[in-house]
Structure 1
Amino acid sequence: MKTVATFAAGALVASVARAQVVQWDIHRRQTETKLTRRQDGTVTEVITNEKLKGGYFASCTVGTPGQNLTLQLDTGSSDIWVPSIDESDSKSFLVVGENEFSISYVDGSHSKGDYIAETFEIGGATLTNLTMGLGINTDIPYGLVGVGYVASEAIVDSTRSTSSAYDNLPLLMQKQGLIATNAYSLWLNDLDASTGSILFGGIDTEKYHGDLTRINIYKDSRSGVFSSFTVALTSVQASSSSGTDSLAAEFPIPVILDSGTTFSYLPTELAEQIWQEVGAVYYDEVSLALLPCDMENSQGHFSFGFGGSGGPMINVTMDELVLPLTSGSRSIPLPDGPNAGQAACQFGIQNFSSSSTSFLLGDTFLRSAYVVYDLVNNEIAIAPTDFNATTSNVVAFPSEGAQIPSATAAPNQAEVTQGGSLTTPSYGASGGFQDDKESAASIPPPLDLSRIAVIGASMGLITVGSGFFLLF
Structure 2
Amino acid sequence: MQTFIAYLLFAFQWLAILPGILASPKVISLDFDRYEVFGDTKPGLRRRDTSGADITNSQGSLLYLLNVTIGTPPQKLSLQLDTGSSDIWLPWAKSSQCSNRNTRCSGSGSFDETLSSSYQLLQASTFLISYVDGTKIRGDYIRDNLAVGSSSVINMTMGLAKTASEQDNVSPFQGIIGVGFETGEAVYAQTGQVYPNIISQFKASGAINTRAYSLWLNSKENGKGTILFGGVDTAKYSGDLVSLPIQPDARTGTVMSFTVALDNFNVMGANSQNQYSKSNLSLPVILDSGTTLTYLPDSMANDLYTGVGATVSTTYGVVVPCDLQNSAATFNFGFGNPNGPVITAPIAQFVLPFPADIPAPTFRSTGKVACRWGIQAAANRPILFGDTFLRGAYVVYNLDNNEIGLANAIVNATTSNVKEITAKQIPGITSTAAGVAKQTASGLQGPNSAAFSTGSGVIATATGPAFNLGSSTAGASSSNAGGKKSAAGVNSPSMGVVTMLAGVVSIMAILGGALLLG
Q: TM-score, normalised by structure 1?
A: 0.76
1:408 aligns with 2:430: yes
Q: Matched residues in 1 for 2:223 and 2:72: separation?
A: 31
The Cα shift of 1:342 comes to 2.1
Rounded to whole Å, the distance in 1 between the matches of 2:501 and 2:90 is 24
How many angstroms does 1:437 deviate by?
Answer: 6.0
Residue of structure 1 in register with 2:444 after alignment: none
Distance 2:63 2:438 in 1: 33
Number of aligned residues: 390
Contact 1:92 1:118 in 2 (8 A): yes
User: What residue in structure 1 maps to residue 347 of structure 2?
Assistant: 318
Q: Give the drift of 1:102.
A: 1.7
Counterpart code for 1:21 = V
> In 2, distance between residues paired with 1:390 and 1:461?
41
Return the alpha-carbon distance in structure 2 between the equivalents of residues 223 and 333 of structure 1. Answer: 48
1:22 to 28, 51, 56: 28
User: Which residue type is aligned with residue 433 of structure 1?
Assistant: L
Instruction: Decide which of 222, 227, 235 is 2:264's aligned counterpart.
Output: 235
User: What are the ranges of 5 or more consecutive residues in structure 2 without an aligned counterpart?
Assistant: 1-23, 37-58, 93-110, 167-171, 440-464, 475-499, 511-518
Q: Which AA in structure 1 matches 2:71?
A: G
Q: Is 2:394 the partner of 1:370?
A: yes
- Structure 2 partner of 1:44: none
- Counterpart of 2:181 (choices 134, 142, 149) is 149
The change in CA–CA distance for 1:374 and 1:461 in structure 2 (over 3 A counts) is: farther
Q: 1:460, 1:189 → 2: CA distance?
A: 31
**Could you say if the C-alpha distance between residues 105 and 297 of structure 1 is closer, same or farther in structure 2, counting changes exceeding 3 Å?**
farther
CA RMSD of aligned residues (A): 2.8
Partners of 1:170 and 1:190 in 2: how far apart? 26
Deviations 1:392-424 (A, max 9, x none): 1111123xx32211113334536x799xxxxxx
Kept in 2, the 8 Å contact 1:300–1:436? The answer is: no
Aligned to 1:95: 121
2:62, 2:134 → 1: CA distance?
Answer: 18
Relative to structure 1, the CA distance from residue 66 to residue 366 in structure 2 (aligned partners, 3 Å threshold; closer, same or farther) is: same
Q: What are the superposed Cα offsets for residues 24-50 of structure 1, whole Å, 9 maximum, x if unpaired?
A: 1134589xxxxxxxxxxxxxxxxxxxx
- For 2:126, what is the secondary structure of its paired residue? strand
**Aligned counterpart, 2:472:** 436
Q: Which amino acid aligns with 2:307?
A: E
Given the alignment of the two structures, is residue 464 of structure 1 paired with residue 500 of structure 2, yes or no?
A: no
Counterpart CA distance in 1 for 2:471 and 2:413 is: 30
Query: What displacement does 1:289 show?
Result: 2.1
Q: Which of 226, 229, 236 is residue 200 of structure 1 equivalent to?
A: 229
- Describe the shift of the 1:195–1:218 C-alpha distance in structure 2 as closer, same or farther (beyond 3 A): same
Q: Is the 8 A contact 1:255 1:359 kept in 2?
A: yes
- Helix, strand or coil at the partner of 2:236: coil
Q: Which amino acid aligns with 1:76?
A: G
Aligned counterpart, 1:220: 249
User: Which protein shows a greater Rg?
Assistant: 2
Displacement after TM superposition at 1:187 (Å): 0.3
Give the Cα–Cα distance (whole angstroms) in 1 for the partners of residues 279 and 137 of structure 2.
37
CA distance in structure 2 between the aligned counterparts of 1:457 and 1:125, rounded to whole angstroms:
45
Q: Partner of 2:303 in structure 1? A: 273
Structure 2 Cα separation of the partners of residues 258 and 408 of structure 1: 24
Percent of aligned positions with the same letter in both sequences? Answer: 39
Match of 1:260 in 2: 290
Show structure 1 runs of 4+ deviating over 6 A. Answer: 456-462
Q: Which runs of 5+ in 1 are unaligned?
A: 1-17, 31-50, 419-428, 439-455, 467-472
* Candidates 145, 155, 162, aligned match of 1:129: 155
